[in-house]
């Protein structure tokens, strides 16, 4: 080979290698987007925005929040599943989206195959509430009202198949009552409907309503956890008010499109667990009534299978369908 030919070959090799070297730049080297499949103002959105601020600091790159709303979060979840598995797009979603919705909506994909789990991030209590104008002062008051003939009470449903919808269905079944189910596009609009008196009953995770509980715009009638919340010790559990075993908890997890490289998943998992469990974040999580989780990467498959299986049974038992 002539000297010129060898030089041309080396240049060619260099040109071919350049893109590969560029692709190997340490992650993250540009902004990361968290897709939230629920609207602004709801519990998932409120949590994701606080988490994004912390991750921006820990990862050294801006972490953005983008809302993709509709169909109990499934529109945003499907959009996330189509994204490139490079760690620059992840989804932060509640268990209603990744564990309940698949049994109600035709997703067109299997969550366990379409996503790699980064991990369960947190859990939070769900409150049963009415507006300040409601005459109901207790859960028993509301049930009595709901059992009256010709009552025109309404439940503000933020999404068919949401954990809050499941809580209402579970209580109605155990309590032997039903009110009109009015659909809203996410938690924010549902909350505002009850505050304004357009709807009468609301179930909602704590992070979206603590301010309104403090102001009195919303009145809590019960909490759907097994134990009373330490931040609202005067609010009785639904279970202790005549509904033994009643428990519905909101989980929020982070998922990445399937095929995301394991080193990136590990780095995301580490950053997320640090954000949830570092002492300086505790006041923020306490304010949102969030219980941080600390899930290693390898525990996700078993968790998803158990959570999904539990809700599959419930949905089939109640024959819940998209209205």
Q: What domains are defined for the chain?
A: 32-123+250-318 (3.40.190.150), 126-241 (3.40.190.10)
Residue 173 is predicted with a pLDDT of 92
Cβ–Cβ under 8 Å, residues 79 and 237: no
Residue 10 is predicted with a pLDDT of 46
Residue 7 is predicted with a pLDDT of 46
Residue 322 is predicted with a pLDDT of 79
How does residue 115 score in pLDDT terms, banded at 50, 70 and 90?
very high
Whole-number percent of the chain with pLDDT over 90: 77
Residue 167 is predicted with a pLDDT of 96
Does the pLDDT of residue 93 top 90, yes or no?
yes
148-183 confidence digits (pLDDT tens): 999 999 999 988 888 999 999 999 999 999 999 999
Residue 8 is predicted with a pLDDT of 52
Q: Report the C-alpha gap between 229 and 307 in whole angstroms.
A: 22
Which helix (H) or strand (E) element contains residue 11?
helix 3-23
HEC string for the chain: CCHHHHHHHHHHHHHHHHHHHHHCCCCCCCCEEEEECCCCCCHHHHHHHHHHHHHHHHHCCCEEEEECCCHHHHHHHHHHHCCCCCCCEEEEEEHHHHHHHHHCCCCCCCHHHHEEEEEEEEEECEEEEEECCCCCCCHHHHHHHHCCCCCCCEEEECCCCCHHHHHHHHHHHHHCCCCEEEECCCHHHHHHHHHCCCCCEEEEEHHHCHHHHHHCCEEEEEECCCCCCCCCCCCCECHHHCCCCCCCCEEEEEEEECCCCHHHHHHHHHHHHHHHHCHHHHHHHHHCCCEECCCCHHHHHHHHHHHHHHHHHHHHHHCCCCC
How does residue 1 score in pLDDT terms, banded at 50, 70 and 90?
low
More confident residue, 17 or 75: 75
Can you give the pTM of this predicted structure?
0.79
How does residue 187 score in pLDDT terms, banded at 50, 70 and 90?
confident
Residue 205 is predicted with a pLDDT of 87
> Which alpha helices (DSSP H) does 89-138 contain, by range?
95, 111-114
How does residue 39 score in pLDDT terms, banded at 50, 70 and 90?
confident
197-249 confidence digits (pLDDT tens): 999 999 998 888 989 999 999 999 999 999 998 878 999 999 999 999 999 99
Cβ–Cβ under 8 Å, residues 119 and 295: yes
Residue 51 is predicted with a pLDDT of 97
96-107 confidence digits (pLDDT tens): 999 999 999 999
Distance of CA 147 to the CA centre of its chain: 32
234-291 confidence digits (pLDDT tens): 999 999 999 999 999 999 999 999 999 999 999 999 999 999 999 999 999 988 888 9
Does the pLDDT of residue 5 top 80, yes or no?
no
More confident residue, 143 or 2: 143
Mean pLDDT of the residues in the chain:
91
**Residue linked to tokens 């309104």:** 212
């Amino acid at each position: 080979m002539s000297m010129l030919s060898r030089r041309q070959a080396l240049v060619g090799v260099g040109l071919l290698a350049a893109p590969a070297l560029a692709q190997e730049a340490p992650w993250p080297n540009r902004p990361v987007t968290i897709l939230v499949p629920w609207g602004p103002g709801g519990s998932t959105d409120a949590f994701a925005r606080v988490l994004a601020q912390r991750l921006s600091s820990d990862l050294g790159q801006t972490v953005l929040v983008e809302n993709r709303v509709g169909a109990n979060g499934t529109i945003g979840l499907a959009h996330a599943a189509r994204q490139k598995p490079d760690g620059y797009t992840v989804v932060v979603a509640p268990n209603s989206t990744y564990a309940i919705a698949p049994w109600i909506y035709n997703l067109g994909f299997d969550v366990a195959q379409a996503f790699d789990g980064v991990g369960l991030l947190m859990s939070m209590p769900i409150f049963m509430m009415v507006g300040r104008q409601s005459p109901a002062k207790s859960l028993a008051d509301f049930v009595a009202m709901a059992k009256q003939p010709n009552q025109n009470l309404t439940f503000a449903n933020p999404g068919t198949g949401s954990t809050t919808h499941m809580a209402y269905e579970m209580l109605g079944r155990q309590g032997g009552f039903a009110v009109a189910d009015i659909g809203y596009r996410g938690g924010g609009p549902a909350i505002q409907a009850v505050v304004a008196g357009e709807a009468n009953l609301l179930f909602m995770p704590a992070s979206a309503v603590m301010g309104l509980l403090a102001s009195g715009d919303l009145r809590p009638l019960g909490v759907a956890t097994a134990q009373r919340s330490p931040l609202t010790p005067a609010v009785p559990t639904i279970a202790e008010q005549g509904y033994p075993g009643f428990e519905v908890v909101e989980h929020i997890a982070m998922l990445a499109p399937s095929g995301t490289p394991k080193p990136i998943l590990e780095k995301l998992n580490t950053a997320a667990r640090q954000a949830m469990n570092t002492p300086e974040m505790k006041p923020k999580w306490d304010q949102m009534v969030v219980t941080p989780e600390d899930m290693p990467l390898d525990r996700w498959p078993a968790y998803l299978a158990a959570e999904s299986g539990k809700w599959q049974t419930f949905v089939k038992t109640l024959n819940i369908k998209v209205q």
